[in-house]
Amino acid sequence: MSDMIRFPGPPAKDDHVICDSPYRLRWGDWRTINIIQVHVHPAAIYEDQRQEDLAQGRDPGGHMPPHFVLDSGMQATAQAILRHRQDETALEEVSYLAALMEALVNTPCAILRTDLIRRVYQEVDSLSNRLGLRWRGRAGHFMLPLNEDALTPRGFEQRVAPLDNLQEFFRALKEIGAARHQALAKSYVIYYPRHRGL
Kindly report, residue by residue over 78-102, the tens digit of the pLDDT.
999 999 999 999 999 999 999 999 9
pLDDT at 179 over 80: yes
Shared-domain flag, residues 119 and 52: no
- Tell me which amino acid residue 9 is: G
Shared-domain flag, residues 94 and 114: yes
In a domain, 7, yes or no: no
pLDDT at 176 over 70: yes
Residues in contact with 103: Cβ distance below 8 Å, sequence separation at least 6, in sequence order: 109, 112, 120, 156, 160, 169, 173
Return the SS3 of 42.
helix
In Å, how far are 27, 56, 94, 138, 194 from 36, measured between CA atoms? 10, 26, 18, 19, 12
> Distance (Å, rounded) from C-alpha 173 to C-alpha 7?
47
Q: What is the pLDDT of residue 31?
A: 86
Return the SS3 of 18.
strand
Shared-domain flag, residues 88 and 154: yes
pTM, 2 dp:
0.89
Shared-domain flag, residues 44 and 130: no
User: What digits encode the pLDDT tens for the residues 35-77?
Assistant: 999 999 999 999 999 999 999 999 888 889 999 999 999 999 9
In a domain, 110, yes or no: yes
Shared-domain flag, residues 105 and 139: yes
Q: Are 3 and 163 in contact (CB under 8 A)?
A: no
Shared-domain flag, residues 87 and 169: yes
Shared-domain flag, residues 81 and 178: yes
Shared-domain flag, residues 52 and 135: no
Shared-domain flag, residues 64 and 81: no
Q: Are 153 and 1 in contact (CB under 8 A)?
A: no
User: What digits encode the pLDDT tens for the residues 96-123?
Assistant: 999 999 999 999 898 899 999 999 999 9
Q: Are 179 and 196 in contact (CB under 8 A)?
A: no
Q: What is the pLDDT of residue 163?
A: 93
User: What digits encode the pLDDT tens for the residues 137-151?
Assistant: 788 899 999 999 999
Cross-strand partners of 191: 26, 36
* Number of domains the chain contains: 2
> Distance (Å, rounded) from C-alpha 143 to C-alpha 70?
10
In a domain, 3, yes or no: no
